[in-house]
Amino acid sequence: MSKDSPSKVSPNADSPNTTRQRRSSDQVTLSQVAQAAGVSPITASRALNYPDKVSDSARLSVLQAVEQLGYVPNLVAGSLASSRSRLIAVIVPSLINSVFVEVIKGLQETLEAEGYQILLGNTDYDLDREYQLVRTFLGWSCSALVTAGLRHNKACHTLLANWDHPIMEVMELGKGMDLNVGLDHVAAGRCMASHLIDKGYRHIVYVGARLSQDYRASMRFDGHQSVLKEKGLDAPLLELDTLGSLQAGAEGLTQVLAQYPHTQAIHFANDDLAAGALLAAQRQGLNVPKDIAIAGFNGLPLGQHVTPQLTTILSPREEMGRLAAKELIRRLSGKNVYRRQHDVGFTLQTGGST
Amino acid sequence: MSKDSPSKVSPNADSPNTTRQRRSSDQVTLSQVAQAAGVSPITASRALNYPDKVSDSARLSVLQAVEQLGYVPNLVAGSLASSRSRLIAVIVPSLINSVFVEVIKGLQETLEAEGYQILLGNTDYDLDREYQLVRTFLGWSCSALVTAGLRHNKACHTLLANWDHPIMEVMELGKGMDLNVGLDHVAAGRCMASHLIDKGYRHIVYVGARLSQDYRASMRFDGHQSVLKEKGLDAPLLELDTLGSLQAGAEGLTQVLAQYPHTQAIHFANDDLAAGALLAAQRQGLNVPKDIAIAGFNGLPLGQHVTPQLTTILSPREEMGRLAAKELIRRLSGKNVYRRQHDVGFTLQTGGST
DNA sequence: CGCTGTCATGATAGCGCTACCATTCGTTTT
DNA sequence: AAAACGAATGGTAGCGCTATCATGACAGCG
């Protein structure tokens, strides 16, 4: 009796100990909707996913049944069956730094409008953590993956290289694994350094925070350094061991003044640092830019509200997110992608601080 | 021939037109891992999900096979089978406002450490949008849902009320649907108003941005107003039609000075507004607090770096996220939850601006 | 009138995994 | 010695949905 005969043809017979108990999910299923609408499950599925593939009457009665039963599609089941999830993995190195949040914002408003959902991961600038996140996200059969930066560890690179969905690397411009939207940080560093030299400053210190982690800031230093070298100038670097913040900027100012008393200008790796230094200088009664000139990077709103206004480089962060999202959507909808690299550029914003 | 006989018992027979083609996912499956490890699929599953339910030897060979084949678990399939997803839906009204990002940060670091993943949604302060997001997220059979605030539209409320997973409402304290971690905004408004009165100010204007959306700011106004009323004072309100920002704060200052020339102090709905006003006052040569006192809410770092320092109310945002996450985890691991409401409190930070 | 093509619909068979039960085997209990 | 028990493992049957193919109805056409 325990051995059920396979020749049995009617499965709905009342066989005694064959019907297993499974957690009874009270969830309304598509089959129930279909039954209520008087169509087959597959037609109900089509009515919801490909509305123009069914007759008007069928679509109407399905939608009505959905409404009536309070049906909520089980996206997990749908994804498994179709191996399309409409999930987009987004991996950033930090949430404290508002720069990444703005990129996420741009991504999100564009992706959500197209019915995609964001799966968010934060690496805290740890590439091994990135690998773990990528593994998890691939497990969710995401439709695409967005990650900040072009550098990944070996395992992560291998995993992604064998993945057959779009990969979008943002923030920095360069030859990536697949799609790329960003800006040239070396050029940005050069741009600001040139500006400072044009303004007549000769003793210029670059101040960054955790450059080994925030390697894009160190790329900007590279650009900065190369310009100064070309002019035969020294390019001292001060690296802080905290994350970028107003507080760290204030400390950076103090340290620079102590270590390099002749400094005329400080090129900070970002606006948080620069604004912190500027506000600290004010508190100390220093005149900016006469006593010390200050420049930043990012173009945060804060820089435009301090006095004097902060000289900085504006990067189009939300725009970067939106463009990345648009390119992904284009790719996901099967269209050809003409350019795999997109330079969103940057703008020098000169303020009174230099 | 077209009518297939149901009595056929061996499905792997070479019947001509029966073997369907399905997209050949090159993905490594758990069965392959199991085969390589010389165990059954279910043992392989257990080795990965419940390591102490299998023998050491089995676990070892499974892990080895995983490594060797580069197996990445299909979490979609796992979720469908187990109806547990280890996804946590997080819904916030804004990503521009750093306050919510900090809560997300707190949630994330705690949840990720426990192997949960965040599904992020942004309502842009639109409750209908919240409903749509909730629907989608329920479709992903999330393990829990975190949302900002206690107010939801009717449909959303119904949906959530019938959902049998933990719901965590954060930011504001009150009787919610399930779990709640937040602070009392009315009390916070009262606190700041009392402080301003203690300082001797009598003509006090409250300035908020889009209060109908940011109803927590209007709760703070309610508190503010009640204190002033108790003292027999007028409580004028100026509502700006833009989102809170430094720029909006500067405009708020201008409008207040124009409309209420006798104003001695401005109570801003948040620090962005307050700092914007403070910096604008500085640019205009106004003395803070002699000419005009300024107070904010949130306790953003910026407030501590402007001169004079901004009087504000510090809310423990990351802590709120962490606590919310911990409570959720406790609930998800089946432990009893002692308190359904958690007051994270707030701290008045007096600076030179009042 | 048969042939082909298009359209709407349905039956079937999975997607990759895990819950549920059953089985085995070695150990403890009565 | 028999019975009871627990630990490790496996067979089976879904989870709820959709891809694939099959079918039937109907229009157009020589």
CA–CA distance from B110 to each of A90, B104, B316, B321 (Å)? 18, 10, 15, 8
A82-182+318-345 against A185-314: fold identical: yes
Nucleotide nearest to A40 (CA to C1'): C10
8 Å CB contact between A145 and A137: yes
B10/A157 Cα distance (integer angstroms):
44
Q: Does B44 touch chain A (CB under 8 A)?
A: no
For A168, the token pair is 């979008």
Is CATH 3.40.640.10 the classification given to domain B84-183+318-344?
no
Residue B284's nearest CA partner among B256, B310, B312 is B256
| B138-173 pLDDT per residue, tens | 999 999 999 999 999 999 999 999 998 999 999 999
Residue B21 has pLDDT above 70, yes or no: no
8 Å CB contact between A2 and A16: no
Q: Does A23 touch chain B (CB under 8 A)?
A: yes
Around B289, how many Cα atoms within 13 Å sit in the side-chain half-sphere?
Answer: 22
8 Å CB contact between B242 and B270: no
Beta strand A167-172 with B204-209: parallel, antiparallel or unpaired? unpaired
The protein footprint on chain C, as nucleotides within 7 A of a CB, is 8-23
B272/B301 Cα distance (integer angstroms):
11
Least CB–CB distance from B74: residue in A141, A162, A279: A141
Which DSSP category does A2 fall into?
Answer: -
8 Å CB contact between A327 and A170: no
8 Å CB contact between B342 and B181: yes
What pLDDT, on the 0 to 100 scale, is given for residue B339? 73
Nucleotide nearest to B29 (CA to C1'): C16
Classify residue B307 as exposed, middle or buried by CB count within 10 Å of its CB (0-12, 13-18, 19+). middle
Residue B251's nearest CA partner among A282, A350, A305, A307 is A305
| B22-75 pLDDT per residue, tens | 555 678 999 999 999 999 999 999 999 999 999 999 999 999 999 999 999 999
Residue of A nearest to B156 (CA): A70
CB pairs under 8 A between A and B: 129
Residues of A in contact with B85 (CB under 8 A): 76
What pLDDT, on the 0 to 100 scale, is given for residue B317? 97
Q: Does B280 touch chain A (CB under 8 A)?
A: yes
Q: Does A309 touch chain B (CB under 8 A)?
A: no
Does A9 sit within 8 Å of B6, measured CB to CB?
yes
Give the amino acid at B230: E
Does B83 sit within 8 Å of A23, measured CB to CB?
yes
Least CB–CB distance from B301: residue in A108, A162, A245: A245
A222/A217 Cα distance (integer angstroms):
9
A279/A116 Cα distance (integer angstroms):
42
B296/B268 Cα distance (integer angstroms):
5
8 Å CB contact between B315 and B346: yes
Residues of A in contact with B105 (CB under 8 A): 95-96, 122
A-contacting residues in B 94-133 (Cβ below 8 Å):
95-96, 98, 101, 104-105, 108-109, 112, 117-122
A130/A121 Cα distance (integer angstroms):
8
What pLDDT, on the 0 to 100 scale, is given for residue A206? 98
Which ranges of B162-284 does DSSP label H, i.e. alpha helix? 185-198, 215-230, 246-259, 271-283
What pLDDT, on the 0 to 100 scale, is given for residue A335? 75
Does B96 sit within 8 Å of A76, measured CB to CB?
no
| Gyration radius of chain B over CA positions | 28
Residues of A in contact with B112 (CB under 8 A): 121-122
Residue A199's nearest CA partner among A314, A330, A290 is A290
Domain ranges of chain B: 30-73, 84-183+318-344, 185-314
B87/B118 Cα distance (integer angstroms):
6
CATH for B185-314?
Answer: 3.40.50.2300
Average per-residue pLDDT for chain B: 91
What does the pLDDT profile of chain A (354 residues) look like in tens digits?
333 333 333 333 333 334 455 555 678 999 999 999 999 999 999 999 999 999 999 999 999 999 999 999 999 999 999 999 999 999 999 998 999 999 999 999 999 999 999 999 999 999 999 999 999 999 999 999 999 999 999 999 999 999 989 999 999 999 999 999 999 999 999 999 999 999 999 999 999 999 999 999 999 999 999 999 999 999 999 999 999 999 999 999 999 999 999 999 999 999 999 999 999 999 999 999 999 999 999 999 999 999 999 999 999 999 999 999 999 999 998 777 767 899 999 999 999 999
Around B254, how many Cα atoms within 13 Å sit in the side-chain half-sphere?
Answer: 11
8 Å CB contact between A228 and A263: no
Give Cα B47 distance to the centre of its chain: 34
Q: Does B208 touch chain A (CB under 8 A)?
A: no
Q: Tokens 């409250």, residue?
A: B206
Does A101 sit within 8 Å of B101, measured CB to CB?
yes
Give the amino acid at A2: S
CATH for A30-73?
Answer: 1.10.260.40
Q: Does B19 touch chain A (CB under 8 A)?
A: no
8 Å CB contact between B287 and B308: no
B183/B299 Cα distance (integer angstroms):
14
User: Which strand ranges, in their side-by-side order, compose the sheet holding B293-295?
Assistant: B237-240, B204-209, B265-268, B293-295
B317/B299 Cα distance (integer angstroms):
10
Q: What percent of chain B stands above pLDDT 70?
A: 92
What pLDDT, on the 0 to 100 scale, is given for residue A22? 57
What pLDDT, on the 0 to 100 scale, is given for residue A300? 95
B328/B145 Cα distance (integer angstroms):
9
For A76, the token pair is 């997990």
Fold that domain A82-182+318-345 belongs to in CATH: Rossmann fold (3.40.50)
Q: Does B246 touch chain A (CB under 8 A)?
A: yes
| A102-119 pLDDT per residue, tens | 999 999 999 999 999 999
What pLDDT, on the 0 to 100 scale, is given for residue B334? 76
What pLDDT, on the 0 to 100 scale, is given for residue A2? 33
B339/B345 Cα distance (integer angstroms):
15
Looking at the C1' of nucleotide C16, which residue has the nearest alpha carbon? Answer: B77
8 Å CB contact between A38 and A65: no
Q: At B207, which helix (H) or strand (E)?
A: strand B204-209
Backbone angles phi, psi at B42, to 5 degrees: -70, -35
From B8's Cα to the closest Cα of chain A, the distance in A is: 7
For B97, the token pair is 């406002």
CA of A181 to C1' of C28 (A): 67
Does A122 sit within 8 Å of B120, measured CB to CB?
no
Residues of A in contact with B80 (CB under 8 A): 74, 76-77, 80
Classify residue B348 as exposed, middle or buried by CB count within 10 Å of its CB (0-12, 13-18, 19+). middle
What pLDDT, on the 0 to 100 scale, is given for residue B181? 97
Mutate to test the interface with B, among A68, A71, A72 (most CBs of B within 10 A): A72
Q: At B138, which helix (H) or strand (E)?
A: helix B127-139
What pLDDT, on the 0 to 100 scale, is given for residue A313? 98
Residue of B nearest to A309 (CA): B283
Q: In this structure, is the dihedral angle defined by the CA atoms of residues A91, A96, A97 and A103, taken in order, positive or negative?
A: positive
Residue B73's nearest CA partner among B23, B30, B111 is B30
Which DSSP category does B310 fall into?
Answer: P
Residues of B in contact with A104 (CB under 8 A): 95, 120
What pLDDT, on the 0 to 100 scale, is given for residue B9? 32
Which ranges of chain A does DSSP label H, i.e. alpha helix? 30-37, 41-49, 56-69, 75-82, 98-113, 127-139, 154-161, 185-198, 215-230, 246-259, 271-283, 301-305, 317-332
Residue of A nearest to B307 (CA): A283
Phi-psi region of A261 (alpha: psi -120 to 50; beta: other; left: phi over 0): alpha
B205/B189 Cα distance (integer angstroms):
13
| B229-277 pLDDT per residue, tens | 999 999 999 999 999 999 999 999 999 999 999 999 999 999 999 999 9
